């Protein structure tokens, strides 16, 4: 089925506008969450990573993850895998879903992924990574991008492979690179070191996107200023505060601080997300999936603490909505 996406995605123009992008996050950046963030200013969303082997085998889970609804644009599809040919085939399959572009995950540090050679596993085999990227680029007409880390962590702290790697990825035909500015073995520990994004950015012509520890409009402004990168990507902060995108945009474009979301907006978001999840996945899944989100969404709302204590025990959507309706009296 062909999606109605409007005009084709203008990759170069998009990155000239210093976009603020929703990071790919497993079990988080599904279609529902992408819509929530897009409505609040995310200028591009990336799907959670999709297993290339699963896609090639026609798994329903992988196929569902790459299925983009008509309004789900611009969205990039991220794939991961250890086998270059399978990645190339998966890219061909994902391209048919008409994403804005295809991203290859070369940064996942989780041992069950990296140990197989996928994700950050590629960082240990730079020659193989470049050959894989070249192969994928050769097989699809859509732009191909890579999201990776500054190194594995086995290099020490001085020399990171990311600068040379970025140069080689550009030569391989990769159209942009996102750098999560930590070594893979650190997971999410310690501070992201944006200076590596700056060094990599100065080595290439293609857009470099800085990622890691951008939690506010101030952070986004600082990250873009310090690195001169083409865009900024936000992950964890969006889970608790999806308004971060509009706050970033306002400050980047107008130098003005966007007002914080009102209490009403906070409650409305909780209701909107819950209802959208119910429509997409059913009542039980919706109630369960929302439990981890209320603390962030309702932060600062009067009586939120009491409400947060009551919500986990409620298993039916009507009960949750009752509590949410009652919050602001
Ligand atoms: C729950 C969770 C799931 C993630 N899943 C993915 C993923 O599927 N693909 C990917 O490239 N990165 C994934 N990441 C990493 C994020 O995209 C991002 O690089 C990282 O969280 C650093 O950015 P932040 O400090 O803004 O969160 C995940 C992170 C989290 C917290």
pLDDT digits (tens, 9 = 90+) for 42-85: 999 999 999 999 999 999 999 999 999 999 999 999 999 999 99
pTM of this structure = 0.97
**DSSP string covering 159-178:** --THHHHHHHHHHTT--EEE
What are the tens digits of pLDDT across the range 165-182?
A: 999 999 999 999 999 999
Q: Is the CB of 26 under 6 A from ligand 1?
A: yes
Q: 105: Cβ below 6 Å to ligand 1?
A: yes
192 Cα nearest atom in ligand 1:
25
> Is 213's pLDDT higher than 80?
yes
Each residue of 215-250: pLDDT tens digit?
999 999 999 999 999 999 999 999 999 999 999 999
Q: What is the pLDDT of residue 3?
A: 58
Residue 325 tokens read as: 């309706």
> What mean pLDDT is predicted for residues 270-290?
96
Average pLDDT value over all residues in the chain: 95
pLDDT of 5 strictly over 90 = no
* Catalytic-labelled residue, pool 106, 108, 229, 248: 108
Query: Which pLDDT does position 1 carry in this prediction?
Result: 43
pLDDT score at 8: 81
Active site residue 229: no
pLDDT exceeds cutoff 60 at 4: no
CB of 22 within 6 A of ligand 1: the answer is: no
Per residue in 182-207, is it b (16+ CB within 10 Å) or e — as a string? Answer: bbbebeeeeebbbebbbbbbeebebb
The architecture in CATH of the region 12-254 reads: Alpha-Beta Barrel (3.20)
> What is the predicted pLDDT for the residue at 193?
97
What is 263-327's CATH number?
1.10.1200.80
Distance 235 CA to ligand 1 centre (A): 6
List the domain boundaries for the chain. 12-254, 263-327
Residues 113, 150: Cα–Cα separation, whole Å = 18
């Amino acid at each position: 089925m062909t999606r109605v996406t409007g005009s084709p995605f203008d990759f170069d123009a998009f990155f000239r506008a210093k976009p603020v992008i929703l990071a790919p996050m497993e079990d988080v950046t599904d279609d529902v969450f992408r819509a929530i963030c897009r409505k609040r200013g995310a200028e591009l969303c990336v799907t959670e990573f999709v297993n290339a082997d699963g896609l090639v085998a026609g798994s329903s889970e992988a196929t569902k993850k790459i299925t983009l609804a008509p309004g789900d644009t611009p969205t990039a599809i991220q794939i991961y895998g250890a086998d270059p040919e399978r990645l190339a085939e998966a890219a061909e399959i994902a391209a048919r879903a008409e994403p804005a572009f295809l991203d290859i995950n070369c940064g996942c540090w989780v041992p069950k992924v990296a140990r197989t050679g996928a994700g950050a596993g590629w960082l240990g085999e730079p020659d193989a990574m470049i050959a894989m990227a070249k192969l994928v680029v050769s097989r699809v007409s859509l732009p191909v991008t890579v999201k990776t880390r500054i190194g594995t962590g086995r290099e020490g702290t001085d020399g990171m492979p990311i600068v040379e790697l970025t140069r080689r990825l550009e030569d391989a035909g990769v159209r942009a690179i996102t750098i999560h500015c930590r070594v893979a073995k650190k997971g999410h520990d310690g501070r992201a070191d944006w200076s590596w994004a700056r060094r990599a950015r100065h080595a290439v012509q293609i857009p470099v996107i800085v990622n890691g520890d951008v939690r506010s409009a101030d952070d986004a402004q600082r990250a873009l200023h310090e690195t001169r990168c083409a865009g900024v990507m936000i992950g964890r902060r969006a889970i608790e505060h999806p308004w971060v995108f509009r706050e970033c945009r306002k400050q980047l474009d107008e130098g003005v601080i966007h007002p914080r979301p009102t209490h009403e907006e906070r409650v409305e978001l909780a209701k909107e997300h819950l209802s959208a999840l119910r429509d997409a996945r059913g009542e039980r899944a919706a109630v369960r999936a929302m439990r981890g989100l209320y603390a962030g969404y309702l932060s600062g709302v009067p009586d939120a603490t009491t409400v947060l204590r009551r919500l986990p025990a409620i298993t039916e959507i009507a009960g949750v909505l009752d509590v949410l309706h009652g919050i602001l009296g």
